[in-house]
Amino acid sequence: MPANQKTEDKKTEDKKTENEKNRTDTANLFKNPDGTEKILKRLRDLTDPARPLRLMEICGTHTMSIARAGLRGLLASDDFAVDGFLCPGHVAAVIGSDAFAFLPEEYGIPAVVAGFEAADLLYSILELTALAAAKTPALRNTYVRLVKPQGNPAAVRLMRQVLTPAADTWRGLGVIENGGLAIRPEYAAWDAARKFSLPAFQDAEPAGCRCASVIRGALSPDACPLFGTACTPADPVGPCMVSGEGACAAAWRYGPAGLS
Amino acid sequence: MNDIITLDYESGGEKTADLIRSVLLPAFKNPALEALGDGAVLDGSEKLVFSTDSFVVTPWRFPGGDIGALSVCGTVNDLCMAGGIPRYLSLSFILEEGFLIRDLETIAASIARKAAEAGVIIATGDTKVVERSKGDGIYINTAGIGFLRAPGLGREQIREGDGVILSGSAGCHGAAVLMARAGTIRLMRDPTRGGVATTLHEFIEDSPLTIELDEAAIPIDEPVAAACDLLGLDPLYCACEGRMLAVAAPEDEAAVLAALRRTPGGEQAALIGRVTQSRPGSLILNTRLGGKRLLTKLTGQQLPRIC
């Protein structure tokens, strides 16, 4: 083997190691109680209790088109009051973190693509808070161990092959053009909705449910008249009371005083 | 003998007798069963514990066991947790037409092995065959009788300051060891559906007590942790059959732990939390990161992470 070839190999190897290093999440540095304390302290320093920041966790939006169309629909509402977006890591693993770049670029709202472990979320909230407090519209990816800017092109190709953007109903927001996915005509034989003549999804909001306002950051969960009375995690009325990720479910479980 | 179960085996005639003689009796040999009466005549004139459970797991063979082993361990564990030393089991098969007799033999052998390990006999049994597509291969029901050795266990016995102990995989043997030390144990349970979190929540819900768990102290096998991490499931809510959750008086918890750790399969036994009164009726997890999480009862099914 010629000497210069060896040097080339070594260079490639070094480059690889460097890439690996860069791909290690900063969030990993905070996977201990001291790290958590540091994050909490920095969060306290960054925020002003008199002017709380409203951060929104986005769930779903499984294609670029849904992310754009759906979030644009959301951003267009008059009472939209969110200072930053926490973007879904596993969606971004497929469609790429770049899919959320339009949020800071076009709307001036910072966004952070986050992982799901406690340290991931805490660190991502810190990053987002720092951006929001400084009014810096930027996109950050704190889940680099899984998420690339361009995502997973093979998966995106497959989705495009079978599915196509279509109008869909978002709870509390109504029908959003290109806000959902439909099965392409070539694959209609496998479309359960056609095959079994399923009725169209009904979007009648239950009486009194204020999830739409909670989602937009315009209403805090405990201000909803159904909160904790007609609507509880065991018997939810609206989507915000469902699962550990629902804003109302978390507010109901921990209460205003939390656990500390 | 035919290779597969057919509806003929349901007739109660020649085929049924054939199956009992050639597959079931040899596997479970004991005088009570061999009498082939309509019911078994058993020894015993003391307080009993009695339990039953049905097993519908599919596929019937899975990593670490099969439906046969599960059908013995499940009921035997329930008897143990109720403070009994298990003695007798009934065994009832519901077989789908077409089930391989070879597979039934494998299952019978694993039932026999687990029964011998647990010191129980199959005292009586039954076999039914349902038409093809009306079952899922094989269902098993077992009922069990044990002699009561640890009376008075119950959630009303739990006191502030008690220790919460998880047994490792030594469930029933562990319980037997603890019963020999009666008086120190307030309550024992097998954390089946809903897992450790749901079972512990049932210990203290609607009571003035709290259970606080120490996340770092809970033994979770590496493969389980990895699979749960990947899927976004919480291992504390995964069914954990065959283990034991026990609540012990603080002055005895060290002895209880030591006894469990000497039991085969109990090496991982750990003190995972304590009974307090910090938030009545709540189960609280003190996390590795220094935070606190409220663990509620599992509602519905655990959902894998989707976003």
Q: Give residue-wise pLDDT tens across range A16-45.
A: 555 454 556 677 777 888 888 899 999 999
Residue of A nearest to B302 (CA): A243
Q: Give the per-residue pLDDT at B306.
A: 66
Q: Which residue has the higher pLDDT, A68 or B97?
A: B97
Tell me what percent of chain A is helix, strand and coil, each rounded to the nearest 5.
Answer: 45, 15, 40
Residue A222 CB neighbours (<10 A): 12
- Domain shared by B289 and B166, yes or no: yes
Tell which B residues from 172 to 231 touch A, by Cβ distance under 8 Å. 229
What residues of B are in contact with residue A32 (Cβ under 8 Å)?
A: 288-289
DSSP letter at A239 equals: G
Six-digit token pair at B132?
């093809």
Residue B100 structural domain: 7-148
- Domain shared by B69 and B178, yes or no: no
Residue of A nearest to B290 (CA): A33
- Domain shared by B178 and B241, yes or no: yes
Q: Give the per-residue pLDDT at B1.
A: 47
- Domain shared by B185 and B268, yes or no: yes
Taking CB atoms and an 8 Å limit, are B288 and A35 in contact across chains?
Answer: no
- Domain shared by B263 and B206, yes or no: yes
Residue of B nearest to A116 (CA): B232
- Domain shared by B262 and B191, yes or no: yes
What residues of A are in contact with residue B307 (Cβ under 8 Å)?
A: 58-60, 88-91
Q: Touching check for B278 and chain A: CB below 8 Å?
A: no
Most B CBs within 10 A among A57, A259, A260, hence the mutation to make, goes to A259
DSSP letter at B278 equals: S
Most A CBs within 10 A among B285, B296, B307, hence the mutation to make, goes to B307
- Domain shared by B21 and B99, yes or no: yes
CA distance A6 to chain B (A): 38
Taking CB atoms and an 8 Å limit, are B288 and A32 in contact across chains?
Answer: yes
Residue B190 Cα distances to A127, B195, B210, B219, B274, angstroms: 43, 9, 20, 16, 18
Six-digit token pair at B22?
């050639």
CA distance A198 to chain B (A): 24
CA distance A88 to chain B (A): 5
Residue A215 Cα distances to A135, A170, A228, angstroms: 22, 11, 17
- Domain shared by B14 and B62, yes or no: yes
C-alpha to C-alpha distance for B307 and A58, rounded to whole angstroms? 9
* 3-class secondary-structure state, position B298: coil
Pick A59's closest partner by Cβ from B284, B294, B307: B307
Give the start-end residues of each E strand in A68-173: 84-88, 111-114, 139-141, 163-170
In a domain, B300, yes or no: no
Q: Give the per-residue pLDDT at A101.
A: 94
In a domain, B224, yes or no: yes
As a whole number of Å, the end-to-end CA separation of chain B is 54
The CATH number of whichever domain residue B111 belongs to comes to 3.30.1330.10
Instruction: Summarize the confidence of residues A79-89 as an average pLDDT.
Output: 88
In a domain, B200, yes or no: yes
CA distance A89 to chain B (A): 7
Taking CB atoms and an 8 Å limit, are A118 and B232 in contact across chains?
Answer: no
Pick A60's closest partner by Cβ from B294, B305, B307: B307
Q: Across all residues in chain A, what is the average pLDDT?
A: 83
Residue of B nearest to A62 (CA): B307
In a domain, B116, yes or no: yes
C-alpha to C-alpha distance for B68 and B199, rounded to whole angstroms? 25
In a domain, B112, yes or no: yes
- Domain shared by B107 and B28, yes or no: yes
- Domain's final residue, options B128, B148, B168: B148
CA distance A10 to chain B (A): 33
In a domain, B165, yes or no: yes
pLDDT tens sequence for chain B (307 residues): 458 988 888 777 788 888 888 899 999 999 889 888 888 888 888 899 999 999 999 899 988 889 999 999 999 999 999 999 999 999 999 999 999 999 999 999 999 999 999 999 999 999 999 999 999 999 999 999 999 988 888 999 999 999 999 987 766 777 777 776 645 789 999 888 889 999 999 999 999 999 999 999 999 988 888 888 888 889 999 988 778 999 999 998 998 898 889 888 889 999 999 999 999 999 999 998 888 999 988 877 777 776 6
Q: Give the per-residue pLDDT at A67.
A: 72
Taking CB atoms and an 8 Å limit, are A60 and B306 in contact across chains?
Answer: yes
Taking CB atoms and an 8 Å limit, are A33 and B290 in contact across chains?
Answer: yes
In a domain, B256, yes or no: yes
Taking CB atoms and an 8 Å limit, are A254 and B294 in contact across chains?
Answer: yes
Taking CB atoms and an 8 Å limit, are A243 and B303 in contact across chains?
Answer: yes
In a domain, B304, yes or no: no
- Domain shared by B129 and B171, yes or no: no
ipTM associated with this complex: 0.71
Q: What is the value of pTM for the model shown?
A: 0.78
Most A CBs within 10 A among B210, B236, B289, B302, hence the mutation to make, goes to B289
- Domain's final residue, options B148, B174, B206: B148
- Domain shared by B162 and B84, yes or no: no
- Contacting B with CB below 8 Å, chain A residues are 31-33, 35-37, 58-60, 88-91, 116-119, 122, 233-234, 243, 253-254, 259-260
Report all structural domains of chain A as residue ranges with CATH numbers, in order of start. 23-188+197-202 (3.40.50.11750), 204-255 (no CATH)
Q: Give residue-wise pLDDT tens across range A171-207.
A: 767 788 888 888 999 999 999 888 898 887 666 778 8
Q: Which of A60-69, A215-224, B20-29, B230-239 has the lowest mean pLDDT?
A: A60-69
pLDDT at A1 exceeding the cut of 50: no
CB–CB of B283/B200 below 8 Å? yes
Number of domains into which chain B is organized: 2
Q: Which of A69, A72, A90, A88 is nearest to A155 (CA)?
A: A90
CA distance A90 to chain B (A): 5
- Domain's final residue, options B117, B148, B179: B148
Q: Which strands sit side by side in the sheet containing B138-148, from one edge to the other? A: B48-55, B138-148, B84-96, B121-130
Taking CB atoms and an 8 Å limit, are B289 and A118 in contact across chains?
Answer: yes
- Domain shared by B126 and B201, yes or no: no
The CATH number of whichever domain residue B167 belongs to comes to 3.90.650.10
